[in-house]
Structure formats: structure tokens, C-alpha cells
Amino acid sequence: MSHKPIRKAIFPVAGLGTRFLPATKAVPKELLPVVDRPLIQYAVDEAREAGIEQMIFVTGRGKGAIEDYFDIAFETEITQRERGKDLGALEGTRLMPGNAVFIRQQEPLGLGHAIWVAREIVGDEPFAILLPDEFMKGAKGNGCLKQMVDAYDKVGGNLVCALEIPMDETPSYGVIDPGARDGVLTEVKGLVEKPKLGTAPSNLIVPGRYILQPEVMKILETQEKGAGGEIQLTDAMAAMIGTQAFHGVTFEGRRFDCGSKAGYIEANLALSLERDDLKDHIRAFAQEELAR
Ligand code: UTP
């Protein structure tokens, strides 16, 4: 059976990023760099690699720099060209004209609300969601969303990325109540947002990658506030279980929670140790530092 292709992706970037204050007072969290590329760039590259054509950014006040980031940096380009400098570093920062949509969530009422804001742009199509502060590092050409789209092509319906974490960390995440497992696919029997310690149905969490059917927008329209007083995407997804296929996909790769300081620093370290221009220096420095 063929399933409707996934052509659109939503990047919710309207959150306040309070865990990174004061850095995020004037700079969007999504533009914080891992080595020399902003978090949002990695997420957009991952979406592109998965065949996404239209990138929908749900922004808010103070997030205008994200829109500029994906535009042509006219002055920089002219100046660099005049100086005979290579512009390769800017590759991938421009989106195809008409393929980027920016829409505002006026109030940060929660992730579920941010997704619902994009309902008219998504229309009657299944779509992907990528939370850019979750940095999912797959093999080249086979990122997290690509792996999920491959799974979607087989089973259709709704899919979330599924990741095992230590049980005591589950209160910070959306957690899966898992059913039968078949290869990378796990049936999702239930979902709970930020369960109290000791009450999570498993240690399988949803780290910010989703493929959802458009019906979720109807549910979000009347979704009550949930955990943390926010309109939760998890609660709307939970309401779809039983009416449509719902699976978790085990991701082959590494995940860095760049919404947290520790995860962000780990990502910078891990990526710099992979870069030919940095790895020797950083390795030597880290060894010296650890020996102090
Ligand atoms: P987070 O829970 O990480 O919140 O949101 P945050 O505001 O970004 O960061 P902290 O916790 O205050 O440090 C998860 C994702 O959902 C988006 C965020 O931008 C992030 O990508 N989000 C959250 C919205 O777009 N709108 C919201 O109302 C809430």
C-alpha cells in the first residue's frame, strides 16, 4: 500500500529557551551553534535529506533572526566575494524561494499549540515535526527523519522517534507505553507527558521527531492544557491511538539534548572530535584539562 508522501515539516521555534538565559535573552536558542552551525541548520538539513520540500517555522517575538538566517546575507556575500573568499560555509543556509514559511505563535502556550498554529499551511497532508534543540545525529544521508520516513513508507499512520533513556530521567519527557516490537518498530499503546517519577509506563521517550496525520490538528483545536499548564502535543497524539496506526521508530545514531546545557556541551565536544580541522587540538586540550 502506498502512503501519502511527507512533504512538509514544522519546526516549532517559539519557545522562550529559559534554560539558556541569559544567552537566549536576545539570541534564539535555535541559533546557538554546535561548533559552527546553528542547531536549526542541522534540523533543516535532516529534513531536506528526508525529502521534505516545505519548511514551516513557527516563530515568536524575538525570533526574527531565524528568518534572516535563511535569507541571502547580501553584505556578507558581496564583501566575501570582493575579497576572493570562499562562500561554501553558507551552503544550505538559503532555502528555495517559496519553500520556507514563517508563522507566529503569539503566546508560548505549549508545543501542541505551536503545531496547531500551522494547521492551514499543513492542510490535509501528513507532516513531520522536528524540534531543533534535539540534535539527532545519524549516518550521512540517513538521518533520524529519513529513517522515520523509510518506516512510514512501510506502515503509514503516525510515527514518533523512540529512544531509551535512564528511568529516572523520564519525568522530563513524553513517554511511550510500548506494545509489540518488530525490528525498529514498536507499537505505541499509550503516551504520557512528563510522568511523575516512578509512574512512567516505560523508559522509552519521544525525542522530538514526529510524523503525524493531519487529524491531529482537529484534536489540538480543543486540546485542554496538560502538564506544566501547556497545551501538549503528547496529549493530542495520545487521543489518536486506537483510531489510527501509531508506532515508535528506534533511531540508529546519536542523540544530544541541546535544550539542556550538558547535552549542548556534549554535542559541541562530540562534533569537534569528528572534525579534521579541530579534532587533534580538542583531544589534546581535553586530555590536558582532565589531568589538571
Ligand atoms: P522546550 O520545552 O524545550 O521549551 O520546547 P523552550 O522554551 O524551547 O526552552 P526552555 O525549556 O524554556 O529552556 C520544546 C520545543 O517546542 C517549542 C520550542 O521552541 C522547542 O523547539 N515550543 C515550546 C514552541 O514553539 N512554543 C511553545 O509554546 C513551547
Q: Which pLDDT tens digit goes with each residue over 121-144?
A: 999 999 999 999 999 999 989 999
Q: Which spans in the chain are helix H?
A: 39-49, 64-69, 74-82, 111-117, 119-122, 144-155, 215-221, 233-240, 261-272, 279-291
Residue 72: pLDDT above 70?
A: yes
Residue 280 and residue 276: Cα distance in Å, rounded? 8
Query: What is the pLDDT at residue 1?
Result: 62
Do 255 and 167 meet the contact criterion of CB atoms below 8 Å apart?
no
**3-state SS, residue 29:** helix
Residue 110 and residue 165: Cα distance in Å, rounded? 23
Per-residue cell: 38 = 546553528
Query: What is the pLDDT at residue 100?
Result: 94
Query: What is the pLDDT at residue 225?
Result: 86
Query: What is the pLDDT at residue 90?
Result: 86
CB burial readout 133-142, b (16+ within 10 A) else e: bbbbbbeeee
Query: What is the pLDDT at residue 197?
Result: 93
- Say yes or no: CB of residue 17 within 6 Å of ligand 1: yes
CA of 136 to the centre of ligand 1 (A): 17
Do 68 and 58 meet the contact criterion of CB atoms below 8 Å apart?
no
CB-CB neighbours of 172 under 10 Å:
14
pLDDT in tens, 174-189: 999 999 999 999 999 9
DSSP sequence for 226-248: -GGGS--HHHHHHHHBTTB-EEE
The mean pLDDT of 227-236, rounded to a whole number, is: 92
C-alpha count within 13 angstroms, C-beta hemisphere, residue 119: 12
Higher-pLDDT residue of 62 and 157 is 157
- Say yes or no: CB of residue 131 within 6 Å of ligand 1: yes
Residue 105 and residue 113: Cα distance in Å, rounded? 8
Residue 181 and residue 188: Cα distance in Å, rounded? 10
CATH superfamily of the domain spanning 8-259:
Spore Coat Polysaccharide Biosynthesis Protein SpsA; Chain A (3.90.550.10)
Residue 256 pLDDT class (50, 70, 90 cuts): very high
Query: What is the pLDDT at residue 94?
Result: 87
Distances in Å between the Cα of 194 and the Cα atoms of 95, 158, 250 are 35, 21, 20
Whether residue 28 has a cis bond before it, omega within 30° of 0: no
**Residue whose CA lies nearest to ligand 1 atom number 15:** 131
Average pLDDT, the chain: 95
Per-residue cell: 200 = 512512567
Query: What is the pLDDT at residue 193?
Result: 94
- Say yes or no: CB of residue 259 within 6 Å of ligand 1: yes
Look at the block and give the residue holding cell 487529524: 215
Residue 270: pLDDT above 90?
A: yes
Do 58 and 9 meet the contact criterion of CB atoms below 8 Å apart?
no
Per-residue cell: 107 = 503566546
**Residue whose CA lies nearest to ligand 1 atom number 25:** 14
| Nearest partner of 118 among 175, 55, 73, judged by Cα | 55
Strands 185-193 and 174-182, bridge-based pairing: antiparallel
The mean pLDDT of 96-103, rounded to a whole number, is: 92
Q: Which residue among 10, 11, 13, 27 has the greatest number of ligand 1 atoms within 8 angstroms of its CB, and so is best to mutate?
A: 13
Domain boundaries, the chain: 8-259
The mean pLDDT of 80-105, rounded to a whole number, is: 89
pLDDT in tens, 30-63: 999 999 999 999 999 999 999 999 999 999 988 9
pLDDT-above-90 percentage for the chain: 87
- Say yes or no: CB of residue 126 within 6 Å of ligand 1: no
Query: What is the pLDDT at residue 217?
Result: 97
Per-residue cell: 234 = 503528547
Task: Give the largest Cα separation in the chain, rounded.
Answer: 61
CA of 89 to the centre of ligand 1 (A): 28
The mean pLDDT of 219-232, rounded to a whole number, is: 90
Query: What is the pLDDT at residue 89?
Result: 86
